[in-house]
Structure 1
């Protein structure tokens, strides 16, 4: 199973670890594209601070993020699973998983990123600020820029197993599973059961807890139908919508009664 996650907007500090080693990152087929985005981002942030803040969509209170980006090559690096924070990652709780579940997380979790394309939670990266919605002057919209590199690398990363796609729309734009990969891909919505409305904050928390439950239980569903069954066994109320035609992903609705 391959689980596709969005990053978090907020990130932990880089710390004092050794700096980034780009060649050590997973998915080496993305190396050239990563280098181009890193070069562009560092150059932008080392120049006119106000321009960089405008391009990155940062408020005055986040001005310090520009200097952080300018120093990415020498900043300390930590495992991506420690860098990404926020509601989903708090609910996922990677640090508190047992050893077996952490190994499963290292194999199965893939975090999408405007800067790195996609990384494993064990990949060591510095803290940064660059969402997939950014339009860098020399590269254009990152969601569009990443499509070709991702299309050449992600199908192999997906292998022949289930793909659980929990990304937000901006990050889903960078790679859309196609063909037979789409047929074994499941997307997830979290709905408030009484109203059938999509929930916001609790959406992220539910997805984090759901992934944690799958990792802890050690289940390995091979297709979306098996995934729905596994989630029901773990106590979730799940409705399944099969693809309307070939090349479409399955859709799972997880129903919750509490929205907090």
Structure 2
């Protein structure tokens, strides 16, 4: 089983004095990340990001608001920035709901094995890979690399297919990050979330992110590792009304998590 997550816009920058380390926080090591064969491509994106973040029009290039320009400026020093496990760097609704800080060591080890977090900078990283806080979305165009979603789709296809194999893939990503890698539909369960009121269903982005994060946490905390769609549905049904739609053509299986709004 592999669980695919999006990153978060918000990130918590680690401190140089990492309490979990005996010395200074390690710096970014591309070869130490999950999918080390992508180290060269990650270096390419990092070089382009540093260059773009130094430009006068960096705000427009990186498609960000003026309030986060300090984060854009920090991009220029990513090689010297402290790192922390990816699940600590990413903040926001999904990761708050996942609540990785309450996972046991065994559950964190499962996360390291089973969870991949997609990223405009790294393509994808493991749950516990050490990364710095950065600002870069998958829909940005960077120099000669062009659109990062298109770039990573080409670069990640073979290594991701080898990593995933024919096991179950639980896809909790947003659309922009989903373009970077599309696993085989017959082996993929796409997670959707709906809020139902008066018989009408709608997607509320905040609640959808929360549901995907909560489900990921439930899967990692499960006493038995889920291996099939039926296993995942059984766990999800403890929290939500669930509906499953089978794969059809290029469309993967769909798991709908339905919450009732008063």
Q: Which residue pairs with 1:237 in the alignment?
A: 241
Query: Could you tell me whether the CA contact under 8 Å between 1:162 and 1:221 is conserved in 2?
Result: no
Superposition TM-score, scaled by structure 1 size: 0.92
Deviation at 1:30, TM superposition (A): 1.4
Query: Could you tell me whether the CA contact under 8 Å between 2:33 and 2:129 is conserved in 1?
Result: yes
1:147 paired to 2:153: yes
SS class of match (1:177): coil
SS class of match (1:196): strand
Structure 1 segments, 4+ long, off by >3 Å, are none
1:29 paired to 2:37: yes
Cα pair distance change 1:66/1:235, threshold 3 Å: closer
- 2:30 and 2:140 map into 1 onto residues whose CA distance is 21
Deviation at 1:162, TM superposition (A): 1.0
Query: Could you tell me whether the CA contact under 8 Å between 1:101 and 1:218 is conserved in 2?
Result: no
Query: Could you tell me whether the CA contact under 8 Å between 2:218 and 2:235 is conserved in 1?
Result: no
Q: Which residue pairs with 2:22 in the alignment?
A: none
- 2:176 and 2:235 map into 1 onto residues whose CA distance is 28
Which of 92, 95, 106 is 1:100 aligned to? 106
Deviation at 1:28, TM superposition (A): 1.1
- 1:228 and 1:166 map into 2 onto residues whose CA distance is 14
Which of 245, 250, 253 is 1:250 aligned to? 253
SS class of match (1:111): strand
Q: Which residue pairs with 2:132 in the alignment?
A: 126
Which of 208, 220, 223 is 1:218 aligned to? 223
- 1:235 and 1:131 map into 2 onto residues whose CA distance is 31
SS class of match (1:131): coil
Deviation at 1:213, TM superposition (A): 1.2
Query: Could you tell me whether the CA contact under 8 Å between 2:219 and 2:232 is conserved in 1?
Result: no
- 1:241 and 1:115 map into 2 onto residues whose CA distance is 33
Alignment of 1:179-194 (within 5 A): 182-194=185-197
Deviation at 1:215, TM superposition (A): 1.1
- 2:230 and 2:26 map into 1 onto residues whose CA distance is 43
Q: Which residue pairs with 2:67 in the alignment?
A: 61
Q: Which residue pairs with 2:162 in the alignment?
A: 156
- Unpaired runs of 5+ residues, structure 1, are none
1:111-153 Cα distance to aligned partner (Å, 9 max, x none): 0000000001211111100000111122111000101111011
SS class of match (2:254): strand
1:184-235 Cα distance to aligned partner (Å, 9 max, x none): 1100111113322122111111111111111112332323233223322x33
Q: CA RMSD in A?
A: 1.5
Superposition TM-score, scaled by structure 2 size: 0.91
- 2:70 and 2:105 map into 1 onto residues whose CA distance is 36
- 1:237 and 1:257 map into 2 onto residues whose CA distance is 9
